[in-house]
Chains A and B, each alone.
Chain A
Amino acid sequence: MMRLRVSIHPVTGFISVVWVLTSLYMGYVLSAFVLSLILTMLLVMSKGVKEVVNLLKLYTWLVIPPFIILTIMYTPLEALDMSIRLLTIALVFTNVLQLITPLELTYTLMRLRIPATASLAIPMVIRLSEYMGYIVNEALIALRGRGLRRRKLLMSLPIPLVVHTIKSSTQLAEALTQKTFRNVNLVLGKPKVGLTDTLIYLYIVLMTLKYLLFKYV
């Protein structure tokens, strides 16, 4: 199935996260939640329904235990409020990180005078976390295949992972040197503000105006 390549400007991502956290702090939970849903829709367009549904399933398990505990401790309404806040934060962070192109984030960080190595390392760590999950799974299967179970399995797991990480980091460093990533114009694309960014800004501006009107007029 064809998928649209949807991404957002790193600055848009940063503003979205700050705006959502501020809104939650000020008590405008619904507006913040709606923005996180808009970002989720963009992620669906970019990655496909299946991947996002799996993510949402994971977040459901993140939200259910606090909801139950808070319902017992307080009221169901307060529990719902807290659960939505938790879900909003989780969604906005994940969506923003997934929607920003790593090289565009690198470019933006370098514009902020962060050294090139660190600028590249940050997006790479974010993106490689998914790959590391895959590697952990592969190592687990391999160790089970030689008869390791339970405690022994967990105790042995870090060994092949550490060795693999050291080996692959060397290979990665060599590859990056070959690509001469310090030459920004050669490798990185300058991020552009697109339609998705405009829509997000429009929503943020409208909602902020609404807050201000309610508060001061």
Chain B
Amino acid sequence: MAFKYVEVVSLAKIELIDVWYKDILKGINLRVNEGVVALVGPNGAGKTTILKVMVKALKPDRGSVVIPEKVGSSWQNPYYSFTKPTVLEEFLEYLGSVEEVEEFLGSYGLKHLLNRYTFKLSVGQARLVSILLAVVWGPEALVIDEPTNGLSLRERYAVSRLLRSIKIPVVMASHDLDFILMTSDYVYVVNDGHIVCEGNTLDVFYSDVLQHIGFPEPEVVRVGKELGLRLRSVDEVKS
């Protein structure tokens, strides 16, 4: 089957069906409807390539890609997203007035960054601003590559809270297991261009799939096992 993109205007979801790209992606099947979905896997597994296919930066050799018309994205180097000298000016372009920008940044606890120079922000702050810039123009889905690279513990919590508060589907690629456990609802485990496992974050973390591809057991899971406890996801608690 030849490759084709399918643009879905009103339905906010992403779907990759049997996607092949060179020798990097080997028949990827993936579906994102809502919440935060994580792609986890070792370096060179194909996570970033999957994200690039989702934003049409790469054209697969084979398969189908269903994507919304507008997909926001934030990449490993957050500074590439900046085009204005200050944070205020970056957001004024979309929100119109200073008050609105203040309100918008305030709602994510970032009002203090309003008058800071964009290119002088710390990596963590730049990452947060870059994610908000990817959200502010009203995309129907968000794609984020390695959101925790170079972040302090406090900044990781801030990024996690930010991603949890976004109302559109989010797909992120990371190999930071603690961050994924903290943030994502659903996990796809990618290894050598294949999806080797998928499922609820806790189910995947309690299985030994991650250890099979070279990850250590997440600290929270290890401690939980030692105490004979199992964490419960929000869905499990609700049901």
Contact = CB atoms under 8 A, between A and B. Distances in A.
Interface stretch (A30-38, A88-96, A139-147): A139-147
Contacts of A138: 75, 77, 80
B79 A145 contact: no
A146 B57 contact: no
Given A138-B75, A163-B119, A143 B80 contact: yes
Given A146-B134, A146-B137, A147-B70, A160 B79 contact: yes
B82 A145 contact: no
Overall SS of chain A's interface:
helix
B42 to A, nearest CB: 21
Contacts of B67: none
B83 A141 contact: no
A156 interface: yes
A212 interface: no
Interface of A: 137-139, 141-148, 156, 159-160, 163-164
Contact of B77 (A137, A142, A144, A159): A142
A163 B78 CA distance: 13
Interface string B79-92: 11111000000000
A77 B57 CA distance: 40
Interface residues of B, number: 25
Contacts of B143: 145
B72 A160 contact: no
Overall SS of chain B's interface:
mixed
Given A141-B57, A147-B139, A164 B79 contact: yes
Contacts of A148: 83
A172 B1 CA distance: 46
Given A146-B134, A147-B72, A159-B83, 4 more contacts: A142-B74, A142-B77, A148-B83, A164-B79
B139 A139 contact: no
Contacts of B79: 160, 163-164
Given A145-B143, A147-B137, A139 B72 contact: no
Contacts of A164: 77, 79-80
B56 to A, nearest CB: 8
